[in-house]
Structure 1
Amino acid sequence: MKKNSNLSVGQAFTKAIMFMNSGRFAEAKQISEEIKRVRPLSPDVHNLLGGIAFKMGVTAEAANHFSRVVELKPDHNEAR
């Protein structure tokens, strides 16, 4: 991860959630995209990106991420 290279994936994920919860969606999305580059098959990062997109009002993008979550982990409760 570029800007957050000194953070572990878990720390970056936590930071992205904190940004999302505080309404700093662009920053949350940037960090989440960096995590996705490292962990492209993580249902949790796609779920986070879906939540961010939804909160930003980009529903088509949110739906794509949530669909990807279900593809990767069919029993993922939050994305259903």
Structure 2
Amino acid sequence: MRLTTKPETEQPLPDIDMSTHLGELPLVNPILTASGCAAAGRELDQFFDITTIGGIVTKSVMQNPRSGRPTPRMA
């Protein structure tokens, strides 16, 4: 189930270039998810077409394991 609604009358969308860059990374548009909304992004696909946003912000990623409380953790 997608949580999108269609306008009552189909009208063509204006052709607006929303592309931008985050450093050297090109994005199709400046819309990003908030960190923690989804682990890898695949979870969001049931709600909207994830290819329409600029990117998905994941949890922190580190090259080496970090000490701390083991998962699963609850706030």
Settle same-fold status: TM greater than 0.5.
no
Structure holding more strand per residue: 2
Please give the TM-score of this superposition, normalised by the length of structure 1: 0.23
Structure holding more helix per residue: 1
Higher relative contact order (CA 8 A, sep 6+): 2
